[in-house]
A and B are shown apart, each in its own frame.
Chain A
């Protein structure tokens, strides 16, 4: 379904406001990398005391605990926690199914910009990619705030119906936090996506925007379904019993995703598109701690 291009600056500004209220769960992870605001995995030069140990040749003499030396006559070293910048790789699925309705697409962009602003607020090292089937684009963080990236992303080739994004090609930094914003409506096994998302000891969050028409359609009768991605027409007659089975299939599909995400240590939250942003986060994102206050 063709949707009118959303106003990126507006959405970005709105998402920046959301980032003041909510944050990504970056604090629960031990990071390595450049100096930053988050506790690192190794010993650093922050003010946070971590441990004592005996002096070893080569240690920085500035960290010798002179008070202890005065009491004991032995050199001991004070160890302080390392503070590093978290690495955040944001991947946005821009397949046509994400744009099936304007509300869904706007909600996806809101999540996208929310993660960006939340990352920037946390001084995280940000990497942004958009993916569509087998193709992807990687953007510098300064390009994201304009609408240029959207135009470039629109030039990616169409994908087959219900094709899953090929995350294996998307550059994901080792041990980074990966956030995939996608409706997860793929017919392939979720394992493919999840394995690719957690490669190189990465952690991640799945944010899946959805609309009520997908979860709870009120079909009754004959329908000429237009597949959002391939644009093909499919005639179906929807009877009551078939609609019931669709509800069950939809439920099973996302139950599978949640179970496999849990297995791979990923957080997953489905975000409804119809309510406002704050309300939509209360649906699953906040309870699952995929997004925090």
Chain B
């Protein structure tokens, strides 16, 4: 039955062996004696006539007794424990999938291998399960081989942003049970881990310089500029070089120097001959933010067909001009969004499709609407203040069961959504011309939001910049006979295309910086062409990375849990005492003998 030692520090007691031998050497220093009867001694002691030091020590009973006492003392101090038969240790490891963990991958292999070997040494059989803290994937590993576990880690890629580990810890704890060992591996310190998890922090403060964000600026002349931020995540001055490259060309490297914790911006115009390019900065320990793929953003065009009365036209014209990427429809083309006027006293069916409808002022209402104004929880009105609205009491559209009210004043629905089989209409159910709505920011924002929602639902090509793993709100053909979506990624000049099997799932930008495109069928242009970049400054800042190992407590608990103590320890103590007493007797006994 294998055994382990609960207190390996007890092996320091073995230092007593050389100490005792040294003491005996010093005590056994030879006394010089002139003798005339040496031939009598030589006859008695044929061996070791010259007698080296070890020969002399060999016959010392106190020495051997004291050495035995040291060995017994060491055995008692190291607390040998015998492993219980059929004991199975279960260890669950939750890997922090934050992107910063990639920097400390080597430490991860080394520390985890060391700690798991140590923990496994206490038990004859150990089962491992490794899960990603983001819980977006299958378990990284599930098995009994530590070597295979380490091998499985090589395919694991931490690319997430900062997130909560608690769900992963809960699941991991449920996998190993209350008596199992739960290890949270991260690159920074986490206090008070839930579910009795033990922290294994493997990070260390590391300087990093990288891109921290991007913004596109359209000048008045229509030229588009890019502006990126470069940040120094360290308390020391850093020097780097950066350059820009497209598929066809590459700029010369330019130096950039950043003071401690300084953020600087780089700005430039898009190349005339390319819609995309990549900014790169000199590589360092954290590589994700060392490149910034960018694409010239182009939103989907929304065609507008306004049919307004002269009373309303001047009120809405500034709002319509402020809408981005809108245009009138081509001849014979149905507009994406119509803007119409509804006459309650001369009602006519509303057009189908997406639209914005206002009431026509045929008769000036005499009274203002009374009562409290309150808004429903809806994305179109979120965080908007309509309390300043003054609207007159006039005839309006009756509310249908299928309508979605957005804004109320007492029992009057002021704004609501009305869906039909081709789209949704935003209906302002009060007289716009006699109200002050056109002067309210909430009115303009609501129209912008609705236009943007129509833009999102439009199936048309677009070019956008994303952060990695960012959710893509993509409009595509979801009919049963529609062709599948295809994702093409270009990372480090390598292009990979794959179908997206689950169209119902959320589409996300790739996990690594690069260009990508999502297309549906052979429609020519992809539905979206994007550039994904890393811009999580929390993950890029490695100054708070640290190392700490809380598994010592776990090891002690494991030993108590899976082993049993040496049942003979009382006997060893008695033998130890006997050795010491016997040694003491031999050392102190009188040496005088009576000659016969």
In the complex, the answer to whether B28 meets A247 with C-beta atoms within 8 Å is: no
**In this assembly, does A145 line the interface, its C-beta being within 8 Å of a C-beta of chain B?**
no
**In this assembly, does A237 line the interface, its C-beta being within 8 Å of a C-beta of chain B?**
yes
Closest residue of chain B to A232, judged by CB?
A: B38
In the complex, number of A-B residue pairs with CB atoms less than 8 Å apart: 108
Which of the 9-residue segments A56-64, A108-116, A222-230 touches chain B? A222-230
In the complex, the answer to whether B28 meets A221 with C-beta atoms within 8 Å is: yes
Most A CB atoms within 10 A — which of B31, B35, B49, B596?
B35
**In this assembly, does A35 line the interface, its C-beta being within 8 Å of a C-beta of chain B?**
no
In the complex, the answer to whether A221 meets B40 with C-beta atoms within 8 Å is: no
Answer whether A249 and B44 are a contact pair too, CB < 8 Å, given A222-B51, A234-B49.
yes
Q: Which residues of B contact A219 (CB under 8 A)?
A: 33
Q: How far does the alpha carbon of A215 sit from the alpha carbon of B39 in the complex, in Å?
A: 14
In the complex, the answer to whether A161 meets B59 with C-beta atoms within 8 Å is: no
In the complex, the answer to whether A222 meets B49 with C-beta atoms within 8 Å is: no
Q: How far does the alpha carbon of A180 sit from the alpha carbon of B48 in the complex, in Å?
A: 36
Number of interface residues of A (CB under 8 A): 41
Q: Which residues of A contact B595 (CB under 8 A)?
A: 215-216, 247, 250-251
Number of interface residues of B (CB under 8 A): 32
Q: Which residues of A contact B59 (CB under 8 A)?
A: 237, 239
In the complex, the answer to whether A249 meets B40 with C-beta atoms within 8 Å is: yes
Answer whether A223 and B30 are a contact pair too, CB < 8 Å, given A187-B39, A228-B36.
yes
In the complex, the answer to whether A224 meets B32 with C-beta atoms within 8 Å is: yes
**In this assembly, does A218 line the interface, its C-beta being within 8 Å of a C-beta of chain B?**
yes
In the complex, the answer to whether A246 meets B41 with C-beta atoms within 8 Å is: yes
**In this assembly, does A243 line the interface, its C-beta being within 8 Å of a C-beta of chain B?**
yes
**In this assembly, does A242 line the interface, its C-beta being within 8 Å of a C-beta of chain B?**
yes
In the complex, the answer to whether A247 meets B31 with C-beta atoms within 8 Å is: no
B219 to chain A, nearest CB (A): 100
In the complex, the answer to whether B591 meets A225 with C-beta atoms within 8 Å is: no
**In this assembly, does B29 line the interface, its C-beta being within 8 Å of a C-beta of chain A?**
yes
- Secondary structure at the A interface, as helix, strand, loop or mixed, is mixed
In the complex, the answer to whether A228 meets B31 with C-beta atoms within 8 Å is: no
Q: Which residues of B contact A216 (CB under 8 A)?
A: 595
In the complex, the answer to whether A237 meets B34 with C-beta atoms within 8 Å is: no
In the complex, the answer to whether A162 meets B30 with C-beta atoms within 8 Å is: no
**In this assembly, does A263 line the interface, its C-beta being within 8 Å of a C-beta of chain B?**
no
**In this assembly, does A235 line the interface, its C-beta being within 8 Å of a C-beta of chain B?**
yes
Contact pattern, A 5-49, Cβ under 8 Å of B = 1, otherwise 0? 000000000000000000000000000000000000000000000
Q: Which residues of B contact A256 (CB under 8 A)?
A: none
In the complex, the answer to whether B44 meets A234 with C-beta atoms within 8 Å is: no
Answer whether A220 and B591 are a contact pair too, CB < 8 Å, given A234-B50, A236-B41, A246-B44.
yes
**In this assembly, does A83 line the interface, its C-beta being within 8 Å of a C-beta of chain B?**
no
**Per a CB cutoff under 8 Å, which of A183, A234, A240 touches B593?**
A240
In the complex, the answer to whether B36 meets A236 with C-beta atoms within 8 Å is: no
Q: Which residues of A contact B591 (CB under 8 A)?
A: 218, 220, 240
Q: Which residues of B contact A229 (CB under 8 A)?
A: 36
Q: How far does the alpha carbon of A228 sit from the alpha carbon of B36 in the complex, in Å?
A: 5
Answer whether A236 and B45 are a contact pair too, CB < 8 Å, given A100-B36, A161-B39, A244-B593.
yes
**In this assembly, does B249 line the interface, its C-beta being within 8 Å of a C-beta of chain A?**
no
**Per a CB cutoff under 8 Å, which of A161, A218, A226, A247 touches B596?**
A247
Closest residue of chain B to A235, judged by CB?
A: B51
In the complex, the answer to whether B34 meets A100 with C-beta atoms within 8 Å is: yes
Which of B57-82 touch A at CB < 8 Å?
Answer: 59
Contact pattern, B 16-39, Cβ under 8 Å of A = 1, otherwise 0? 000000000001111111111111
Q: How far does the alpha carbon of A92 sit from the alpha carbon of B399 in the complex, in Å?
A: 151
Answer whether A249 and B43 are a contact pair too, CB < 8 Å, given A216-B595, A222-B29, A236-B51.
yes
In the complex, the answer to whether A100 meets B56 with C-beta atoms within 8 Å is: no
Closest residue of chain A to B52, judged by CB?
A: A235
**Per a CB cutoff under 8 Å, which of A234, A239, A243, A250 touches B38?**
A234
B236 to chain A, nearest CB (A): 65
Q: How far does the alpha carbon of A102 sit from the alpha carbon of B34 in the complex, in Å?
A: 12
Most A CB atoms within 10 A — which of B28, B29, B33, B45?
B33
B252 to chain A, nearest CB (A): 83
Answer whether A162 and B35 are a contact pair too, CB < 8 Å, given A234-B50, A237-B51, A242-B44.
no
Closest residue of chain B to A214, judged by CB?
A: B37
**In this assembly, does B570 line the interface, its C-beta being within 8 Å of a C-beta of chain A?**
no
B556 to chain A, nearest CB (A): 47
**Per a CB cutoff under 8 Å, which of A218, A222, A250 touches B40?**
A250
Closest residue of chain A to B49, judged by CB?
A: A234
**Per a CB cutoff under 8 Å, which of A214, A224, A240, A249 touches B36?**
A214
**In this assembly, does B592 line the interface, its C-beta being within 8 Å of a C-beta of chain A?**
yes
**Per a CB cutoff under 8 Å, which of A183, A225, A240, A244 touches B35?**
A225
**In this assembly, does A174 line the interface, its C-beta being within 8 Å of a C-beta of chain B?**
no
Q: How far does the alpha carbon of A244 sit from the alpha carbon of B35 in the complex, in Å?
A: 17
**Per a CB cutoff under 8 Å, which of B31, B44, B52, B593 touches A223?**
B31
Contact pattern, B 317-361, Cβ under 8 Å of A = 1, otherwise 0? 000000000000000000000000000000000000000000000
**In this assembly, does B55 line the interface, its C-beta being within 8 Å of a C-beta of chain A?**
yes
**Per a CB cutoff under 8 Å, which of B31, B38, B39 touches A222?**
B31
**In this assembly, does A248 line the interface, its C-beta being within 8 Å of a C-beta of chain B?**
yes
**In this assembly, does A153 line the interface, its C-beta being within 8 Å of a C-beta of chain B?**
no
In the complex, the answer to whether B593 meets A243 with C-beta atoms within 8 Å is: yes
Contact pattern, B 565-596, Cβ under 8 Å of A = 1, otherwise 0? 00000000000000000000000000111011
**In this assembly, does B382 line the interface, its C-beta being within 8 Å of a C-beta of chain A?**
no
Answer whether A100 and B35 are a contact pair too, CB < 8 Å, given A240-B593, A243-B593.
yes
Q: How far does the alpha carbon of A187 sit from the alpha carbon of B44 in the complex, in Å?
A: 13
**In this assembly, does A176 line the interface, its C-beta being within 8 Å of a C-beta of chain B?**
no
Chain A interfacial positions (CB closer than 8 Å to B): 1, 96-97, 100, 161-162, 183, 185, 187, 214-216, 218-229, 234-237, 239-240, 242-251, 253
**Top 4 A-B pairs, shortest CB-CB distance:** A235-B51, A97-B36, A220-B591, A162-B39
Q: A234-B51, A236-B51 are in contact. List 20 more A-B contacts (CB 8 A).
A: A97-B36, A100-B34, A162-B38, A162-B39, A218-B591, A219-B33, A220-B591, A222-B29, A224-B30, A224-B31, A226-B35, A228-B34, A228-B35, A228-B38, A229-B36, A234-B38, A235-B51, A237-B51, A246-B44, A250-B37
